A and B are shown apart, each in its own frame.
Chain A
Amino acid sequence: MLSSEYRVVVGPEGYLAPAAASMGIVLPEPGEGLIEGVIVPEREAMHKIAEKLLTAKNPTFFPGPLVLWAWNDKAIAKAQAVKALAEAVGAHIIPMPDYRPKYPMINPQIEINPNHPNLTIWHNDIDVCVFVGVHCHYANLALKIIRGGTDCYTIALCGEFGHEDAMITLRDVNTAKLCTLLEVIEEAKIEVGVR
């Protein structure tokens, strides 16, 4: 496959999925997002996120340490916004409290770990997941493993520059942007008749 034809789509992609960056996928600029490796206007990515979450069987949010811990006012507010989003789409929330390898002691029912995220996804049969508040290195580590070994659709709401290894990503995500996404989701719910 030519690298320019590579798309970041639902797996299982294979024994060892490549980093999307090494297949030619580039991160979005401010105001843009990525859908399956293609750069799109941010709004379009938000609509796609709404569609994916609202049509999922078991959507699940994976909040990471940057929002799980109340280390500053922004984190506390962002955590509230994440929770509101999850509630709006009827998603479960499974935390990623830290990044240490926890295998084999992990309880995949109630937590996820970036070194073996597939265990939590398989155990709970999660078909769409959202990463938020995870340090970028660990998010990418996990997103590749998920694409390689599971059929879970991945969404990354990144506070920095975004994640090529997710199927949809937004960048510069702060509380305000989460609120905009919530509005998009609420509109989409009306459109598709979800109550």
Chain B
Amino acid sequence: MKKGITTISPAFEDIMPEEYRQLVAEGPFGKDLGLGDLGTFKELIEEHPLCAGCGLALGIRLIIASLPAPENTIVVGTTGCSAILFPQLAMHNIHSLFGNQSAIATGLSRALRLRYPDQPKDVVVIAGDGGIGDIGFSFTMQAWFRNEKFTTIMLDNEGYSNTGGQESGMTRQGIALNMAPTGKKYPKLPMVELAKTAGCAYVAAVNPSLARRLGKMVRRAVLVAREIGSTYIQVMVPCPTNYKFSPSETLKQAKALNPQPIEYISAEAEQLLKEAEK
């Protein structure tokens, strides 16, 4: 990113609204900040209309704050609750259609590699479990098979929340939701195992109560995608609205559903991260 893009033209410094002046003065661009710095800088999400206790909103907040180079990162999302938040993100981001995010990201990351051969541009897909595991499953897997150099992060709230609470492939077996009136008939999709099988160089799963761990994973996944190839993180972000629990219980639910973080690192990625984390 050219420095001036987040500098206000001198002629207009006095008339810019406060939120933009804060973004310039106290934003994270080019400062190498991380999760541990939350609360000391102006975050890139201005405001959002998601529900009280939304696990997904917390997940996105932590993910965005963990990006190693937000000034050179483009986010690709898809339809769902996250797409209601993303217009408020102070980064270039794309909402195209429901499910095509990995194909969009493929074209985008290839274009940016051509246009900026000397400046790494990180492309990060952040999408829901329905967007990645169901409607976008084929594009997700195929991008992994091709070893496209971008990160995919699933916000797993085990259902379609934005459309009113339907079962998804990531819903656990037996749970009754809309469109599964007698309970889901098959197990949760094994996306972590599929990512490994498809050849992702870095695969992780975590719940947002382990914030530092999540932050490290995001950083690692983006660095590995930049140099080596596809990476995947699955973040457990329960939905109080859809699953009818109290908004204050979100983290408790997340811990219960995914108590043990998973991290798989290929030998090549291991080598890269060893260098990067020296």
Contacts and interface: CB of A to CB of B under 8 A. Distances in A.
Interface string B1-35: 01011111111100111001000000000000000
Contact of A100 (B5, B10, B87): B87
B10 A70 contact: yes
B87 A107 contact: no
A194 interface: no
A189 to B, nearest CB: 21
B8 A70 contact: yes
B17 A107 contact: yes
Interface in B167-217: none
A111 B9 CA distance: 16
A71 B87 contact: no
A142 interface: no
A111 B15 CA distance: 9
Given A101-B87, A110-B17, A68 B10 contact: no
Nearest to B86: A100
Contacts, number: 58
A149 interface: no
Contacts of A101: 87
A67 B12 contact: yes
A24 B15 CA distance: 38
A134 interface: no
Contacts of A79: 9-12
Interface stretch (A7-15, A49-57, A89-97, A155-163): A89-97
B47 interface: yes
A72 B12 contact: no
B88 interface: yes
A17 interface: no
A76 B20 contact: no
A63 interface: yes
Contacts of B4: 69-72, 75-76
Contacts of B47: 105
A111 B16 CA distance: 8
B90 to A, nearest CB: 8
Contact of B12 (A63, A105, A110): A63
Contact of A80 (B11, B20, B88): B11
Contacts of B7: 69-70
Nearest to A83: B11
A82 interface: yes
Given A69-B5, A69-B6, A71-B4, A97 B11 contact: no
Interface of A: 63, 67-72, 75-76, 79-80, 82-83, 93-95, 97, 100-101, 105, 107, 110-111
6 contacts: A76-B10, A79-B12, A82-B11, A95-B15, A97-B16, A100-B88
